[in-house]
Amino acid sequence: MRPRTILAILLLAGALAGFGFAVTTPRSAPAAAPAPREDLKVTDAPKPSQAELKQKLTPMQYHVTQEAGTEPPFRNEFWNEHREGVYVDVVSGKPLFSSKDKFDSGCGWPSFTKPLEGQDVVEKRDITLGMVRTEVRSRAVDSHLGHVFEDGPADRGGLRYCINSAALRFVPVTDLEKEGLGSFLPLFGKAAAAAKEELATLAGGCFWGMEDLLRKQPGVLGTEVGYTGGTVANATYEHHEGHAEAVQIRFDPSKTTYEALLQFYFRMHDPTTLNRQGNDTGSSYRSAIFFHSEAQRQAAEKVKAAVDASGKWKRPLVTEITAAGPWWRAEDYHQDYLIKHPGGYTCHWVRD
């Protein structure tokens, strides 16, 4: 065998061992290596198409995240990064790991003792290369991140999350607030800025379509669907008589206004059909604004009157304006429904 061939084999063996390929015993913690499941691909936002990802990512980032590739050890961006901050998913931007949990494992890749938020990282059984390992993927967009092994620091849980730099983007502490990650500042001994957030509660037909359109509006921080406006306690989809299917919208008042949300609301559903929206009939599908303050009540009356007078709708508006009451969160399968089921049922669209 030629000397160059022998040298190449030795270098490759060393690299594979560093990333854990030489480990023959899989992680033994409970549920650490579950069989692959399709439901692990639940997302908080639509995953970009492959064409979009090839535009957004570098060739190495695409190879690692989309093709389960591995970057070279010691020749990647974050293996020797020592600044404080948060590592986010390079595809979705979801926070995954903290510098507080990073340690020098000597393997040549970023190593962490645990994820920053367990719900954003999933583990899957990996039997490629003739071995059994535990793969680590991002829950949000199902990107390959790396693998987890049981040779980490014993005093910190004993795990080593060996992650490709190409799967990550680093946000230093000084940029956390600017990037919407200010809630992590206390991890680094810094006070988080006071939250700027208000709540709006709107009903106007099936909450699947309502939520899907409202979530995309500027300034919207988050949405949740549920039942409100009735008297049944602990309402469920099967038992919510008197309640309306509604959406709660958390929004940043420095980026949008309650009135702007209401103006959009009157464009995305038909406010002239009593207890009906599209093919859905019954009081569950009524048009209603549930105000949380006197200022919201006044804004709702003002916007409704302006829309009614504009002539945009040929019939009178039947939208009720009433004080917000108890809120009952809808079942998980209703949350983000049209993200989980693209092309699913909706009777909502934006009118000119």
In contact, 304 and 260? CB cutoff 8 Å: no
Choose the catalytic residue: 64, 107, 121, 162: 162
φ/ψ of residue 7, rounded to 5: -60, -40
DSSP-assigned letter for residue 310 = H
Q: Are 157 and 168 in contact (CB under 8 A)?
A: no
Question: Are the C-beta atoms of residues 245 and 225 closer than 8 Å to each other?
Answer: yes
Active site includes 162?
yes
Active site annotation includes 347 = no
3-state helix, strand, coil in the chain (%, to 5): 30, 20, 45
E strand or H helix that includes residue 44: none
As a whole number of angstroms, the distance between CA 271 and CA 304 comes to: 10
Is residue 19 a contact partner of residue 73, using CB atoms and an 8 Å limit? yes
Q: Which of 86, 206, 213, 268 is catalytic?
A: 206
Which residue, among 141, 140, 158, has the nearest Cα to 149 in the 3D structure?
A: 158
User: Which residues carry out catalysis?
Assistant: 162, 206
